Amino acid sequence: MRDLVTEEDVRDRHPIVIVGCGGAGITTINRLHHLQAPRARTIAVDTDRQHLDMVQADSRILIARSLTRGLGAGGSPDIGRRAAEMARSTLEAVLEDAELCFLTVGLGGGTGTGAAPVVAQIAKDRGATVIVVVGYPLNKERESLARAEEGVAALYRVTGSVVVLDNNRLQPRNQVRTHGQAFTAMDQLMAETIKAISEAISEWSLINIDIDDLRAVMSRDGAAVMLVGDTDRGSGARGAARACLSHPLFDIDYHGATGALFHITGGSDLTVQAAEEVVRELMYELDPMADLLWGARAEPGFEGCVRVMAIMTGIRSARFPRTTR
């Protein structure tokens, strides 16, 4: 297993920026802002003035007021894209010193779907590693699905890697019944995941994650699937790993993944040895050649519980072919 990073390494980290585009994206940003992701700037980007007014973020950017009069993109990704282009200089300024940029968006609407690839390109051009986490529409949202398909392809062309969280997959896991409940559960999960990763980089944790290693794992060509499981300590390492592996949030076979990021959260009772055992259990599922990175952290409120999060990256399929970046 890899060396630990030192406390100085952690303190010297460069800024992490978390950007949300469109309604779903800025809702996640609002949650993250309240969860107080460490050392991370939050940026909310939308064409919808009313919605922007309702969220809290370090920067709130209303894009293309003259195009949409602050009323949203009405489901048109073309308007979303043009809106982001019109706000290019503002977006460039807020992304100037970003080293790591998380970009979160619910695909299927106008603003997020159209603007996110523009934002991703701007961050990438400024030298940031861009980690895109997208929500995929419910099967019932037929028009949104077609737009989402285009959106994911456009993002993939820019970044070569997209973490897809399918709203449909949340329902059995969280026993959610309505669209609203599915979306709320997804927003919370996205926010907590981004917070866990950014804390593992920028706060002193049981096992920290090195930012360069994170870059290497997350930049692997292909789709990425996230898996999350919660158990109590009594279930042991195997139980915790099983809980995670049985909850993929995107319907894709992850066994061909070429990279994996694991993160274990427990209470003050979590030890490095216990976390290592969980990681060992998870590793059985991976290609032995896969690039593995993991972190662990004790959080108040997790006493007696373990949360295991895995992001399997570099999964190639017809939809996510090799890129020529």
Ligand X SMILES: Nc1nc2c(ncn2[C@@H]2O[C@H](COP(=O)(O)OP(=O)(O)OP(=O)(O)O)[C@@H](O)[C@H]2O)c(=O)[nH]1
For binding to ligand X (CB under 6 A), which residues are involved?
A: 22-24, 27, 47-48, 72-75, 106, 108-112, 135, 137-138, 141, 144, 167, 183, 186-187
Least distance to ligand X from the beta carbon of 138, Å? 6
**Window 71-100: contact mask with Mg ion (x via CB under 5 A):** -x----------------------------
Least distance to Mg ion from the beta carbon of 111, Å? 5
Smaller CB distance to ligand X: residue 224 or 249? 249
- Residue 260: partners with Cβ closer than 8 Å, 6 or more residues away: 217, 282, 286, 290, 291, 292, 293, 310, 311, 312, 313
**Partner in contact with 256, chosen from Mg ion, ligand X, none, beta carbon below 5 to 8 Å by kind:** none
Smaller CB distance to ligand X: residue 162 or 240? 162
3-state secondary structure of 170: helix
SS3 per-residue string spanning 241-303:
HHHHHCCECCCCCHHHCCEEEEEEEECCCCCHHHHHHHHHHHHCCCCCCCEEEEEEEECCCCC
Smaller CB distance to Mg ion: residue 20 or 72? 72
Phi, psi dihedrals of residue 203, rounded to the nearest 5° = -115, 150
Taking CA atoms, 146 is separated from 13, 138, 143, 239, in Å, by: 39, 11, 6, 38
- Residue 22: partners with Cβ closer than 8 Å, 6 or more residues away: 45, 46, 73, 80, 105, 106, 109, 110, 111, 112, 113, 115, 116
**Partner in contact with 141, chosen from Mg ion, ligand X, none, beta carbon below 5 to 8 Å by kind:** ligand X
Least distance to ligand X from the beta carbon of 108, Å? 3
Nearest-Å Rg of the Cα atoms of the chain is 19
Task: Let me know: does 210 contact 5? Beta carbons within 8 Å.
Answer: yes
**Window 13-52: contact mask with Mg ion (x via CB under 5 A):** ----------x------------------------x----
Smaller CB distance to Mg ion: residue 108 or 222? 108
**Partner in contact with 27, chosen from ligand X, Mg ion, none, beta carbon below 5 to 8 Å by kind:** ligand X
Least distance to ligand X from the beta carbon of 269, Å? 32
Smaller CB distance to ligand X: residue 98 or 186? 186
Smaller CB distance to ligand X: residue 106 or 266? 106
Residue ranges that bind Mg ion, judged by CB under 5 A: 23, 48, 72
